[in-house]
Amino acid sequence: MLSYVIRRVLLLIPMMLGIVVILFGLMRLIPGDPAVVLLGQDATPQAIAQMHHALGLDRPLIVQLGIYIAHLAVGDLGRSIFQHDPVSQIVLVHLSATVELTVTALFLAIVIGLPLGIVAAVRQGSVIDMANMVFAQLGVSMPVFWLGILLMFWFAVLLGWLPAFGRGAPLLQAIAAALSGHPQVLVDSLRHLAMPAFALGLNGAAFISRITRSSMLDVLHEDYIRTALAKGLTGWKVVYHHTLRNAFLPIISVIGLQFGTLLGGAVLTETIFSWPGVGRLAVGAISQRDYPLLQGTVLVIALLFSLVNLAVDLLYALIDPRIRFD
């Protein structure tokens, strides 16, 4: 097990290197560069040339890449061309916001999606099942920017219950503050988190409920379930111990994938609710051709994505004792 984990972690190094090289090449293949964006339309060709020199963009590509990798090797992600701050600092701040939103959204998705899926599978063809199917269809197909604006209209404009945008204190600090006698900090934090997390989590909930339902149905038709029921075990015991446990692998895969997708793909939610996350950061970096910032952001997201995948693979072994890693 340990050697497996070490192998997987070591494999990350060439993978990250590959990502850097591909990203580096792609960004430079598309027309337009940071000098052009930085100087805007009011740029003379001389000014652009000077800016290229100042940014080191006039050196051969291979030299630029070499310098970047050399800095990367000592943990230096460089400085953002537009924000002038170190990339690592910018990415970390945004990452904490994204992880907080993603984890909360995923939590909501699991809490809503899993029970719905289980009930739908057990009561296949019932009204609950039908309602669940409708919910899943809606949840998967409803665009988040529309849902977001709608939620905001109801809960912020009409009812005035929740703040329309922004982030409160970081959740973990808010919890710490609540423990030290400032519960209002936590309340504020949660109120800010509620709408974006729900908007983001709904899609995941729909997805998870569908996968749970179909995966449960597969297992429910196995012979050993019939045997268990024949032995006289009660229905819910069978559902939990025999069915859910065996149906769990695909569900875990989907949850892991969802987590990864949400990490980098929450751009629309982040934009609608002004959540300062990495999705918006990456898109902004692309549209400004902020090479170091984009490279740093993508690297960190990719790293996190890979670690989550590794965690999911390890979870398989925990859940299903038949799976062994060596």
Partner 1 sequence: MKRLVKLVAVLGLIAFIAGLTAGDWVTPAQAQQAEVSVLRVGTDVDAGTLDPRLEQDTTAYRVTNLIYDGLVQLDAKLQPQPDLAVSWKNPDPKTWIFQLRSGVKFQDGTPVTAEDVVYTFQTMLDPNFGAPHRGLYTPIEKVEAIDAHTVKFTLKQPYAPLLSYLDLGIVPKHVAEKEGQNFGSHPIGSGPFKLVRWDKASKIVLEANPDFWGGEPQFIKKIEVDVVPDNTARAQALEAGDLDLIQSPLSPQDVKRLAKDKRFTTVQMTGTGYTYLNFNTKDPILSDVKVRQALAMLVDQKTIVDQIYQGIDKAATSILLPGSWAYTDTIKQPSYDPQRAKALLAQEGWKDTNGDGILDKNGKKLSIVLSTHSEDPNRIQVVEYLQNIFKQNGIDSTVNISDWPSFIANVQDGKYQIALLGWLNLVDPDRAMYNQLHTGGGFNWGGYSNPQVDQLLDKGRTASSQDERAKAYREAAKIIAEEVPYYILTYQGYQVIYTTALKGFVPNSLGMLRSLVHASLGGP
**Touching partner 1, residues 278-317 (CB under 8 A):** 280-281, 286-289, 304, 307-308, 311, 315
The span of 56-64, 121-129, 198-206, 252-260 binding partner 1 (CB under 8 A) equals 252-260
Residue 230 vs 322, nearer CB to partner 1: 322
- Applying CB under 8 A, does 19 fall inside the site for partner 1? no
Site for partner 1 (CB under 8 A): how many residues? Answer: 89
**SS3 state at 169:** coil
Amino acid occupying residue 226: R
Angstrom CA distances, 182 to 60, 169, 192, 196, 315, stand at 56, 12, 17, 24, 36
- Applying CB under 8 A, does 258 fall inside the site for partner 1? no
- Applying CB under 8 A, does 119 fall inside the site for partner 1? no
- Applying CB under 8 A, does 32 fall inside the site for partner 1? yes
* Site map (CB under 8 A) of partner 1, residues 198-227, x = contact: ------------------------------
The span of 63-71, 130-138, 222-230, 269-277 binding partner 1 (CB under 8 A) equals 269-277
In angstroms, the CA 264 to CA 246 distance is 30
Residue 250 vs 276, nearer CB to partner 1: 276
Residues 41-60 that bind partner 1 (CB under 8 A): 41-45, 47-48, 50-51, 54-55
Query: Measured from the CB of residue 276, what is the shortest distance to partner 1 in angstroms?
Result: 4
Measured on CA atoms in the order 236, 238, 241, 243, is the torsion positive or negative?
A: negative
Query: Measured from the CB of residue 3, what is the shortest distance to partner 1 in angstroms?
Result: 21
Angstrom CA distances, 25 to 28, 38, 62, 105, 259, stand at 5, 21, 10, 34, 28
Q: Could you tell me which residues come within 8 angstroms of residue 219 by beta carbon, excluding any fewer than 6 positions away?
A: 225, 242, 243, 246, 247
In angstroms, the CA 264 to CA 56 distance is 29
